[in-house]
Amino acid sequence: MPPDPVDHLLSVHGVSVRFGGLAALDDVRIDVPAGTVAGLIGPNGAGKTTLFNVVSGLLRPDSGRIEWKGRTLRRHRPHDLAGLGIARTFQGLNLFGGLPVLDNVMVGAERFARGGAVSMLTGLGAHGRDERLMRDRAMAVLEEFGIAGTARSLPGTLPFGLQKRVALARAVVAEPELLLLDEPAAGISADDIGALAELIGRLGERMGVLLVEHHVDLVMQVCERITVLDFGRVICAGPPEAVRADPGVAEAYLGTGEEAADDA
């Protein structure tokens, strides 16, 4: 096994997942260096979400391993991610519909709270300080994202684009070292995608980002390195120009080369 450069935040080594006879992931390798935006693309059913679930600890790989900052993650569970410094968004919004926007984002800041069960039951000790800390952090991110005015609204009353932003704010408020974005552009208007690209680029300066996306233009624009999955295998990995030029990618992902030219 070749030694990894230490600056890799996340390394996925030869991960395979089989559902019955179907290989959802086959010997997949992906590295996310610190402070970069890495992209993961591929047609529907290529295994992108499966890979996301493996990294999140929802699925155990049949073989291969996940390394986080040089340490192999064994038996990690979804609720361990936040403590490790990994935050994620979801393909759906997965907002807490009964909680105001501010509280939604405050939940994302839970990892900064210090109080234990006693403080939560009695409201004494660290409770007041924790609440203030989480509220201040949440407000700061809402302001940064330009949605501070929605703090008291229920997410369901907001337009879809703003809800998407709340979901992103909830992940970013944790100040993760790695941010996993599952199709952030889905359902967003063409105008807003430019703003989203700028936002992701800005986040990439603060944290590592792994972006799973269908929207090829967005991925090409913001990612420094792109991995292409098809039928559970990595068919291409490299900088955007290399991926764009790869004939195998055009064929697998965009249909024939001619259609790809039309799309672009």
Partner 1 sequence: MASPAPRPAADEVRPPAGPPAPVGTRARWSTVPLVVRHLVLAAGALAAVLLLIAATDTVNTMRIAAVGYSVLAIAGLQVLIGASGQVSLGHGAFMFIGAYTVALLVIRLPMLPLWVNLLITVAVSAAAGVVVGGATARLHGPYLAGATLALAVGLPSLAVRFPELLGGGNGLAFTTRGAPPALAATVSTAQWQAAAVWFTVLLALTVLATVSRGRLGRRMRAVRDDPLAAAAAGIPVGRTKVAAFVLSACCGGLAGACQGYLLGTATPSSFTLALSLSLLAALVFGGMGSLWGALWGGAALVYLEVWAEDAAHALSLGTSVTNNLPIVLFGLILIVVVLLRPDGVHGAVRDAAGAVRRAR
Binding site for partner 1 (CB under 8 A): 56, 77-83, 87-88, 90, 94-99, 102-103, 106-108, 110-111, 113, 115, 117, 119-124, 127-128, 130-131, 134-135, 139, 143, 148-154, 156-159, 161-162, 170-171, 174
The residue type found at 7 is D
Q: How far apart are CA 119 and CA 117, in angstroms?
A: 6
Q: How far is the CB of 125 from partner 1 (least distance, A)?
A: 10
**DSSP H stretches of helix in the chain:** 48-56, 81-84, 101-108, 117-122, 127-144, 160-172, 190-206, 216-222, 240-245, 247-254, 257-263
Name every residue whose Cβ is closer than 8 Å to that of residue 3 and which is 6 or more positions away in sequence.
Answer: none
Nearer to partner 1 among residue 88 and residue 225 (C-beta): 88
* 3-state SS class at 70: coil
Closer to partner 1 at the Cβ: 11 or 150?
Answer: 150
The nearest distance, CB 120 to partner 1, in angstroms, is 4
Give the C-alpha separation, 170 to 175, whole Å.
10
Q: Which is nearer to partner 1, 61 or 108 (CB)?
A: 108
Helix axes 190-206, 160-172, angle to 10 degrees: 10
Which of 232, 228, 224, 220 has its CA nearest to residue 247? 228
Count Cβ atoms below 10 Å from residue 103 Cβ, excluding itself: 18
- Residue closer to partner 1, measured from CB, 28 or 82: 82
Smallest gap from residue 127 Cβ to partner 1 (A): 6
CB of 97 to partner 1, least distance (A): 5
* Closest CB 236 distance from partner 1, rounded Å: 29
Between 16 and 119, CB nearer to partner 1 = 119
Query: What string of DSSP letters covers 198-231?
Result: HHHHHHHHHSEEEEE-S-HHHHHHH-SEEEEEET
Taking the least distance from each CB to partner 1, the nearer of 83 and 255 is 83
Provide, rounded to whole angstroms, the least separation between the CB of residue 5 and partner 1.
Answer: 28
